[in-house]
Homo-oligomer: A and B are copies of this chain.
């Protein structure tokens, strides 16, 4: 299987590239000029890095025609500050449009377009075909708009179109401002960790399980929307509590200090749905073992950074 992956240097993309290479795929990864490809090093014999940009339609088309992938996993999207309401989401739709135009000139037969739980009207047990779609944010509307395009070109060309919808993903490489890294780093440093009430119910999945689920989906005959989720509703506060338990510092958690962001839904959880029923897929990590592995990664990273800074001083 020859796979073209966008967003390959991102938090999730890095793990997806590793999983697809491990599975024996030939992987071509689109990377922007100057992107940090460090997390992809060590894979170079089975991985081709393609320097390019979804905003450059002409050179993108040339690259894709040359690679001629059979599968495209499209992860690239704007995830910077305020991404839920940023107009940068429009650029991600435009980039998806350019990508689909380029793919339609190749022999590609399958597009895996990574979507989000944000596309659902928030509920306690979102299920692929039953739960209403209610984009409440520009991010969700733009993900949905892009999926409409993917779905229709696939129908026209006889491709498979897959729309894995990710819920809350954590693990090595997660951006530092988010829940798990901020709690882990604060507690490892012995600092207090300011938190919201932590009552919001979410579905957490370790990023390596997400990458494995994307591989399972991509190598199956399944089509359409597919929840990528554990199916276990969990208060966000329990994630912080589990980290604190493992690090022996529950005294450092300051619940209720941060306000909930406006519009934060109390429940946004999944039934794992077709991933379990159609594919029999289950996660490898529990929340406890996934957090343990993640804490270990941060310990190592902080240790390495300390060594580097000691060397350079």
Residue A67 lies at the interface, judged by CB distance under 8 Å to chain B? no
A271 to B91, CA, bound (A): 36
A101 touches B93 (CB 8 A): no
Q: Which of A90, A137, A153 has the most CB of B within 10 A?
A: A90
Residue contact B87 to A91, C-beta cutoff 8 Å: no
Q: How far is the CB of A129 from chain B (nearest CB, A)?
A: 15
Which of A8-16, A44-52, A141-149, A176-184 has 4 or more CB atoms under 8 Å from chain B? A141-149
Q: How many copies does the complex hold?
A: 2
Asked if B97 and A101 make an inter-chain contact with CB atoms under 8 angstroms apart, the answer reads no
Given the known inter-chain contacts A141-B152, A148-B135, A148-B145, please indicate yes or no for A90 contacting B85, CB distance below 8 A. no
- Determine the chain B residues whose CB is within 8 A of the CB of A146 once the complex forms: 145
Instruction: Indicate if the CB atoms of A149 and B141 lie closer than 8 Å.
Output: yes
For chain A, residues 127 to 180, give those with C-beta under 8 angstroms from any C-beta of chain B: 135, 137-138, 140-142, 144-146, 148-149, 151-153, 156
Q: Which residues of B contact A151 (CB under 8 A)?
A: 141
What mask results when residues 58 to 91 of chain A are scored 1 for a CB within 8 Å of chain B, else 0? 0000000000000000000000000001010011
Q: Which residue of B lies closest to A95 (CB)?
A: B94
Cβ–Cβ contact A97 & B93, under 8 A? yes
A124 and B97 alpha carbons, distance in the complex (Å): 32
How many chain A residues touch B (CB < 8 A): the figure is 26
- Whether A293 sits at the interface, judged by CB under 8 Å, is no
* Interface assignment of A197: CB less than 8 Å from any CB of chain B: no
Shortest CB distance A79–B (Å): 17
Which residue among A135, A142, A149, A153 has the maximum number of chain B CB atoms within 10 Å of its CB?
Answer: A149
A142 touches B149 (CB 8 A): yes
Query: Can you name 17 A-B pairs with beta carbons within 8 Å?
Result: A85-B156, A87-B100, A90-B98, A90-B100, A90-B101, A91-B101, A93-B93, A93-B97, A93-B145, A135-B148, A135-B152, A138-B149, A141-B152, A142-B148, A142-B152, A145-B146, A145-B148
Interface residues of A (CB under 8 A from B): 85, 87, 90-91, 93-94, 97-98, 100-101, 104, 135, 137-138, 140-142, 144-146, 148-149, 151-153, 156
